[in-house]
Amino acid sequence: MKTKILVTGALGQIGSELVPALRERYGADQVVASDIRMMSREELLRADGPFDFLDCTNQRQIQEVVQRHQVQTIYHLVALLSAVGESKPQVAWDVNMGSLYRVLEVARVNGCAVFVPSSIGAFGPGTPQDHTPQDTIQRPSTIYGVTKVAGELLCDYYHHRFDVDARGVRFPGIISYGAPPGGGTTDYAVEIFWEAIRHRHYTCFLKPDTRLDMMYMPDAVKAAIDVMEADPARLVHRNSFNVTGMNFTPRELGAEICKHIPDFKMEYRIDPVRQEIADSWPNSLDDSAARREWGWNPRYDLPAMVRDMLENLEKKLAAEEVHHAN
């Protein structure tokens, strides 16, 4: 991979963990973090490399940052997620498609490679629900999904038409203890850990048997790096590869947490909007194309993820309490 890297949406759930991983791998100065939000004092203190304010719907700003830092690869993480997208579809289109189009244009002019995350949201009610194949029906029913399918196609177009090295993966729900996700349908699988540790109780907005694929953040970061480092000669697909780490329902996740916190209790108050979105997504993905074409091999299953999440989140919350007490 060309290693002068720009990450957009760097302060979000994925960006805040991808940036440190890229910096560790390629060098702190090689990775420019950017976001439309300015960093807080704590974030500034923790930052160990360059940061730029960047509104990705403004092509001139992207061009200026890419030129100033001589960027060769762009990780474009800016996007509104599925549930928040449904509450403001026009904004979701403007942000998700407007920013992607402008990033691809800047990449075309400057010869950059581009990573773009797609999602299980790129599938819809007409897609085969179990072991969803790499190449299949994609007729999503959310604006988020529409932008993800259109984004996959646009990335392929820029590759065929302009030789832009655009690659991506279809992420399932991502679980992490760093920056929280915002406005996703799979967010329950993150919130549940905070509530389990703090209150021994979680009210879930999806039905107990809603089965979805998920992935622990270290595997998501690994996927984003590995697909960009993959030998292009081996890639039959590009935008975007099915990837998955594990598969569970809210009930199964709750039962796994109970093994560590025996008095943990769950109840259910269904959010009809997010339930309908989840029901339109696959139960499980077939990620064999990613395994075959670039060696995708996740490290965390459900028990390993739950153990690691609880251990690290307990430490993080304890450290925050000490910090607030001082």
CA distance 266 to 138: 34
Minimal distance, residue 198 CB to ligand AKB, in Å: 22
- Our finding on whether 121 is near ligand AKB (CB under 6 A) is yes
Are 120 and 131 spatial neighbours (Cβ–Cβ below 8 Å)? no
Minimal distance, residue 12 CB to ligand AKB, in Å: 11
Compute the Cα dihedral for 28, 33, 38, 43 and give only its sign: negative
- Our finding on whether 186 is near ligand AKB (CB under 6 A) is yes
Exposure letters 205-224 (e unless 16+ CB within 10 A, then b): bbeeebbbbbbbbbbbbbbb
Looking at beta carbons only, is 66 or 250 nearer to ligand AKB? 250
User: Residue 248 forms beta bridges with which residues?
Assistant: 212
Looking at beta carbons only, is 176 or 185 nearer to ligand AKB? 185
C-beta nearest to ligand AKB: residue:
184
Looking at beta carbons only, is 63 or 247 nearer to ligand AKB? 247
Looking at beta carbons only, is 191 or 195 nearer to ligand AKB? 191
Which positions from 137 to 166 touch ligand AKB by CB under 6 A, shown as an x/- string?
-------x----------------------
Q: Chain-centre distance of CA 128, in angstroms?
A: 23
Catalytically annotated residues: 144
Which position among 119, 134, 240, 284 is part of the footprint of ligand AKB (CB under 6 A)? 119
Which positions from 166 to 185 touch ligand AKB by CB under 6 A, shown as an x/- string?
-----xxx-------x--xx
- Kindly tell me the burial class for residue 88, based on how many C-beta atoms sit within 10 Å of its own C-beta (0-12, 13-18, 19 or more): middle
Looking at beta carbons only, is 5 or 206 nearer to ligand AKB? 206
Please list, in sequence order, all residues whose beta carbon lies within 8 angstroms of the beta carbon of residue 129, skipping any fewer than 6 positions away.
282, 283, 284
Minimal distance, residue 86 CB to ligand AKB, in Å: 10
Are 106 and 62 spatial neighbours (Cβ–Cβ below 8 Å)? yes
The 8-class DSSP code of residue 229 comes to: H
- Residues found near ligand AKB in the complex (CB under 6 A): 81-82, 119-121, 144, 171-173, 181, 184-186
